[in-house]
Structure 1
Amino acid sequence: MSRRKVIIDTDPGLGEPGSDIDDGLAIALAIRAPELEVLGLTIVNGNVTLSTGVHVARNLVDRLGVTDLPVLAGADAPLTRDMASVRALFDAVPGHGGPRDPGELRGPTAESDAADWMIEQAERYPGEITVLAIGPMTNLAVAIRRSPAFAANVREFVLMAGSATTYAQNITVVGDFNAYVDPEALDVVLRSGGRITMVGLDQTSRVLLTRDDADQMLASVDPFSKWVGECTHAWIDYLARAFPKRAEHEFGCFLHDPLVIAAHLDPGICQWDTAHVEVELISDLARGLVVADRGLSLTVPAPSNATVAVDTDVDAFRRLFLDRIALTPAPDPGI
């Protein structure tokens, strides 16, 4: 079987107190997928600081038994704005662990900048590499600006961003985290001319990892799955404190980024449509709003620049995810 080459561009927090676990679970799903050849992890500022994200990624690849997998450090801030307001949101929640002491952090596996490394890999394997971007798009934008050929050399950019069928309603009423943190970077990607697939929060918010799932992982014979079960309970506890009005966080957490990996592994998990996608840059009230015009408006639509997910087979996703992460088959929903 021919394995598809991928690079995962990510801001992982799995294992860091008070940080989202879905990036780490997406990384694990990709590494455990025999269909994929993960060339490396490129780390970007986002859910956690760049240095913490690199540290988390190094620990993850060790736990997953791929200690030689390259981990590259990329952008430590958005293209034009700082992260002060976003960090303030995290720090205001009781129980957030905050950043580690820098003395404890492990560094990248190479001195190469993440953007330069991605450019080099795309030149080495033109038309073969898919970039799975599950954090803010800063690293991708830097690579596109540095190399006019980068977007053309990449087979596909698969983005966890936006919302194709409704408003995202994530970090703001209209903006999802990845778009809001660096909409200028997302704009660069959308205008690059590269092949773009987008899985948005309208779909990823339909897939949950529950406390029952965490218990299933705790019962696994696999040490990584057991650890994920512990981290899942801890993350749901955090969400219940952070968002007391969100009833779903009493028993579960969203699997935003793993759905992106799963949809790349099996495109049949989602239904797709073409769209012209843009992101709002000017209005502070609507910063990070992603508009996906699927030609359904009364105006003449602009040419499509992306393929967007518009529906999801939740049961198919759960079967794939739990089979590979919990290492036990997910229950048949028909039973």
Structure 2
Amino acid sequence: MERVIFDCDNTFGLPEKDIDDGLTILYLLGSSAVNLMGLTLTYGNAELAEVAKGTQTFISTFDVTLPVYLGAKNGQNRRSDASRFLAEEVAKYPQEMTIIATGALTNLLGAVEYYPDFFQKVKRIILMGGILAPLVVNGHGVKELNFSCDPEATAAVLLSAAPLVIMTGHLTAQAYFPRALIESLVSGGIPQNQWLRQVMDQWCDWNLEHLGMDGFCNWDMTTAIYLEKPELFSDESVWLSSQQDTTTGLMRLTSGPKLGKQVTMPERLLDVQGFNALMMTTIQQILKK
């Protein structure tokens, strides 16, 4: 099983906030291929206090027994319980720990302050964030919300020694989950399932009003499913320029090894139907318990 720490800005259940982090937590808990070691909380979808509140409600509702560590609230002081946990776990399991990061990357750079070899000893880091051009979803411009939160930390992670997989906004926008599938995912009348259905429906309502689509982009889920089924994605790599300014989330590419770092960056989700089917089957393992 893959040892994983999920560094996320979970806002599942909060009004008009994205739900993909929460769904990803359920997926990681349900996956037979993953040993989820803990959650470290960061900001991005919302401020850290809101993320902490939403996550506490989430894990209580689903009766999840999982270590949860609070991260730094901004990039001014990156030391935190979350960054210490990241550092300690990577030091304990060198070359065995995968970090999935789907919010601001503050905690990852903070881990280096506790363990300078953090990037050298992590197995790999799978990121959701960044764009290569303006991001348009169903004809609407969408701002990048992860890499742009703490540009200094983002640049440090992108150019670090850690092996990277980057699921960009352009790739993750292809992971479309239609409202029509909610009933197939959630069945039964137990309170946690009813809450899950309600929150997913409300998020579809928001997307219909603001983006004109009766469903949602399952942005963060791509990181977890890539970990288990990389064959669902195309296999591309790029060279990141050694000069990165991600204040808008826009990454700079270059032409070769003398000028930057090579990272895995899939361009296409090859099987959206298979992606959604795997997500639902895996999450249902948790909902049935």
TM-score range relative to shorter protein: 0.7 to 0.9
Alignment of 1:49-64 (within 5 A): 49-64=47-62
Report the counterpart of residue 74 of structure 1 in structure 2: 71
**CA–CA distance in structure 2, aligned partners of residues 61 and 222 of structure 1:** 16
Per-residue deviation, 1:327: 5.8
Alignment of 1:79-118 (within 5 A): 79=76, 113-118=81-86
Alignment of 1:82-161 (within 5 A): 113-161=81-129
From 232, 247, 268, the equivalent of 1:311 is 268
**CA–CA distance in structure 1, aligned partners of residues 262 and 102 of structure 2:** 19
**CA–CA distance in structure 1, aligned partners of residues 229 and 73 of structure 2:** 32
User: SS state of the match for residue 160, structure 2?
Assistant: coil
Per-residue deviation, 1:209: 1.9
Do 2:174 and 2:268's aligned partners in 1 also have CA atoms closer than 8 Å? Answer: no
From 321, 324, 328, the equivalent of 2:282 is 324
Per-residue deviation, 1:189: 0.3
Counterpart AA for 1:189: V
Per-residue deviation, 1:212: 0.8
Report the counterpart of residue 181 of structure 1 in structure 2: 149
Q: Which runs of 5+ in 2 are unaligned?
A: none
Relative to the length of structure 2, the TM-score reads 0.87
Do 1:9 and 1:135's aligned partners in 2 also have CA atoms closer than 8 Å? Answer: yes
Per-residue deviation, 1:36: 0.5
Relative to the length of structure 1, the TM-score reads 0.76
Residue 214 (structure 2) pairs with residue 260 (structure 1): no
Counterpart AA for 2:93: Y
Distance change in 2, residues 1:160/1:260 (3 Å): same
Report the counterpart of residue 269 of structure 1 in structure 2: 232
Distance change in 2, residues 1:145/1:288 (3 Å): farther
Per-residue deviation, 1:222: 6.7
From 277, 281, 285, the equivalent of 2:245 is 281
Alignment of 1:200-239 (within 5 A): 200-220=168-188, 224-239=192-207
Distance change in 2, residues 1:224/1:263 (3 Å): farther
From 25, 28, 35, the equivalent of 2:26 is 28
Question: What does the per-residue CA deviation read over 1:219-274, in whole Å, with 9 as the maximum and x for residues that have no partner?
Answer: 35775444222111111222334x2xx322xx111100011111111111111222
Per-residue deviation, 1:146: 4.1
Do 1:209 and 1:252's aligned partners in 2 also have CA atoms closer than 8 Å? Answer: yes
Question: What does the per-residue CA deviation read over 1:182-214, in whole Å, with 9 as the maximum and x for residues that have no partner?
Answer: 222110101221111111111110112222122
Counterpart AA for 1:290: M
Report the counterpart of residue 42 of structure 2 in structure 1: 44
**CA–CA distance in structure 2, aligned partners of residues 195 and 17 of structure 1:** 36
User: SS state of the match for residue 148, structure 2?
Assistant: helix
**CA–CA distance in structure 1, aligned partners of residues 192 and 252 of structure 2:** 38
Do 1:272 and 1:307's aligned partners in 2 also have CA atoms closer than 8 Å? Answer: yes
Per-residue deviation, 1:60: 2.3
Counterpart AA for 2:75: P
**CA–CA distance in structure 2, aligned partners of residues 35 and 167 of structure 1:** 35
Per-residue deviation, 1:61: 2.5
Counterpart AA for 2:171: Q
Do 1:4 and 1:129's aligned partners in 2 also have CA atoms closer than 8 Å? Answer: yes
**CA–CA distance in structure 2, aligned partners of residues 32 and 260 of structure 1:** 15
Counterpart AA for 1:55: K
Counterpart AA for 1:120: E
From 10, 13, 34, the equivalent of 1:12 is 10
User: SS state of the match for residue 8, structure 1?
Assistant: strand
How well do the aligned residues superpose, as a CA RMSD in angstroms? 2.7
User: SS state of the match for residue 146, structure 2?
Assistant: helix
**CA–CA distance in structure 2, aligned partners of residues 304 and 169 of structure 1:** 27
User: SS state of the match for residue 252, structure 2?
Assistant: strand
Per-residue deviation, 1:154: 0.8
**CA–CA distance in structure 2, aligned partners of residues 269 and 225 of structure 1:** 28
Count residues in correspondence.
280
